[in-house]
Amino acid sequence: MDPLQPENDHLPSPPLISDRVLINGVVTPLTLTAEGELQWTTETGRGKSTTEKEILSFAVEGNKVRVKTLVESTGSSSICCGGSGGDYARKEFVFEPLYDESRKLWCDKLRQRLHSLGRPKRLLVFVNPFGGNKTARKIFLEEVKPLFDDADVQLDVQETKYQLHAKEMVRSMDVSKYDGIVCVSGDGVLVEVVNGLLEREDWRTALKLPIGMVPAGSGNGMIKSLLDPVGMSCSAASATVSIIRGHRRSLDVATISQGTTKFFSVLMLAWGLVADIDIESEKFRWMGSARFDVYGLQRIICLRQYNGRILFVPAPGSESCGQPASDNVEKESSVSDKTPGYQGPDTNLEDLEWREIKGPFVSVWLHNVPWGAENTLAAPNAKFSDGFLDLIVMKDCPKLALLSLMTKLSDGTHVQSPYVSYLKVKAFVLEPGARIDEEDKEGIIDSDGEVLARGRKSYKCDEKALMSYGKLQITVDQGLATLFSPE
């Protein structure tokens, strides 16, 4: 580089607009920088507010311009989902241009800057009034809706009235009317929405519609996985802010197949200890997320083990896990090409290098994202769109060691235990068996908090499940769905 040549790359860009205005009746210089920062200087000091993170919207009131902002509170220590919303403070900044033309120019520049951020303008919002400890409606009205109102986001609100209500709605909705879908709930409504979108004829277009989560249920694993890496507390306010800002990210989708029956999973699949705790603890749903700890202790004291076999295609670096598979894996039967909707990834399973692990098992756990619940870092190495599932297997473990492991779920160090095998897989087959102590009793297969299959004499075994308690096949489609993301 010529040393005499000016380094134009380091020169600040000219401001979008800079002028003198009235702030609290005092003539004050005000600037909107090219980077979208509103800056002013008064006798009490300098102030600033960014369009990227703090400015939600603005309104003209006579000669004045009222800017609505959201400022991050200091000293917030909340780490749990569904918090009080104390992470942010809603504030307003009012200024008065000195003449009409200046006011028009300020409004044009602010509007253009906010529009350039690609924020959502209209959202379909599902509120599940039955999830967790039934606070979703209150969370929405007191913490979520005021922020969307300040950001001038139009909302179509639908309370879910029964299981699969959200799935039915998104399967037939006009996706062109919305910039996204928001679930004020636990993870269950998110799963319904994804499955509903994937069953549409226009699923490729529908899946581009981003989905946002606001924690208001027992399990809030997806939103915790989104917010935790960027240091944001898992609260309704933080989640709503992430949606308003409009950033997006891709999400892997796992297809679980049994014959022609399919279920699309975005969170996890469990069999054994984790599934038993997740599903059988429903009797304590009134306790909220504490139900998992209480019932988990009971299940460890009366520990079950299951016969069975798992087969998997390991990611690079995990090829030494297990043994070479003793037989070939063939793709499950496919439905007719005329059937509308997504049919799963087109993966040639026969040509893959399959490995196997035989039981008995205490627990088999597959995870798509790091957090299984707001206090359970199940798979610390899981990524949103790496094309792999994280597999956590426990074959045998003394009860005292297992109790110790359960206390380590909050920081993910359980995967370092010698009793745990932890690896990434591209494809997976589960062949579940009966309990080793009572061979006439089988287990539960759980995916994303819902029962996929109930074995003989298992919890609520008379209730109908989507699949039978038998061989399941799981494949991953990388980055298929879209989420609202904090970054």
| Sequential DSSP letters for 428-440 | EEEEEEEESS-TT
Structural fold of domain 17-72+84-117? PH-domain like (2.30.29)
Residue spans in the chain of domains classed CATH 2.30.29: 17-72+84-117
Numbers of helices and strands, H then E, in the chain: 11, 23
In the predicted model, what is the mean pLDDT of the chain? 90
> 394 - beta bridge partners?
363, 420
Query: Residue 60, Cα to own-chain centre: how many angstroms?
Result: 36
Largest Cα–Cα distance of the chain, in whole Å? 86
Residue spans in the chain of domains classed CATH 2.60.200.40: 257-478
| Cβ-based neighbours of 348, under 8 Å, separated by 6 or more | 331
Helix-helix angle 399-407:290-301, to 10 degrees: 170
Whole-angstrom distance, CA of residue 148 vs CA of residue 155: 8
122-246: in CATH 3.30.559.10 = no
Q: What is the dihedral of CA 256, 258, 259, 263, to 10 degrees?
A: -40
| Cβ-based neighbours of 170, under 8 Å, separated by 6 or more | 124, 181, 192, 193, 196, 197, 200, 206
CB 476 within 8 A of CB 253: yes
Q: b/e map of 355-383 (b: 16 or more CB within 10 Å)?
A: bbbbbbbbbbbbbbbbbbbbbbbbbbebe
CB 373 within 8 A of CB 292: yes
In this structure, the chain runs to a length of: 487
pLDDT band at 45 (very low <50, low <70, confident <90, very high): confident
Q: What is the pLDDT of residue 429?
A: 97
Active site (annotated) includes residue 440: no
Residue spans in the chain of domains classed CATH 3.40.50.10330: 122-246
C-alpha closest to that of 219 among 369, 54, 440: 369
251-255, 285-289, 385-389, 391-395: least confident range: 285-289
Q: Tell me what the mean pLDDT of segment 182-199 comes to.
A: 95
Helix-helix angle 290-301:273-280, to 10 degrees: 130
115-129, 276-290, 299-313, 443-457: least confident range: 276-290
For residue 8, what are the CA distances in angstroms to 11, 302, 485? 5, 71, 34
Strands 122-127, 154-159: pairing is: parallel
Whole-angstrom distance, CA of residue 387 vs CA of residue 249: 14
Q: What is the pLDDT of residue 88?
A: 86
Indicate the DSSP class of residue 8: G
Q: How buried is residue 347: exposed, middle or buried, by Cβ count under 10 Å (0-12/13-18/19+)?
A: middle
Helices (H), 173-235: 187-198, 203-206, 221-227
Name the percent of the chain lying above pLDDT 90: 76
Q: Report how far apart the first and last C-alpha atoms of the chain are (Å, whole number).
A: 35
CB 260 within 8 A of CB 334: yes
pLDDT band at 384 (very low <50, low <70, confident <90, very high): very high
Q: What is the pLDDT of residue 438?
A: 94
Q: DSSP letters along 221-272, please?
A: HHHHHHHGGGT--SSHHHHHHHHHHT-EEEEEEEEEEETTEEEEESSEEEEE
Indicate the DSSP class of residue 171: H
6-10, 177-181, 403-407: least confident range: 6-10
Q: Tell me what the mean pLDDT of segment 144-167 comes to.
A: 95
| Cβ-based neighbours of 412, under 8 Å, separated by 6 or more | 370, 377, 378, 379, 380
CB-CB neighbours of 174 under 10 Å: 7
Q: What is the pLDDT of residue 11?
A: 60
Q: What is the pLDDT of residue 76?
A: 40
Strands 122-127, 64-72: pairing is: unpaired
79-93, 131-145, 384-398: least confident range: 79-93
CB 349 within 8 A of CB 328: no
Structural fold of domain 257-478? Tumour Suppressor Smad4 (2.60.200)
CB 169 within 8 A of CB 147: no
Q: DSSP letters along 433-486, please?
A: EEESS-TT-B-EEEETTEEEEE-TT-TTTTS--SS-SS-EEEEEEEEEEEEE--
| Cβ-based neighbours of 299, under 8 Å, separated by 6 or more | 273, 276, 277, 280
Catalytic member of 19, 149, 150, 187: 187
Structure tokens at 197: 């979108």
Name the percent of the chain lying above pLDDT 70: 93
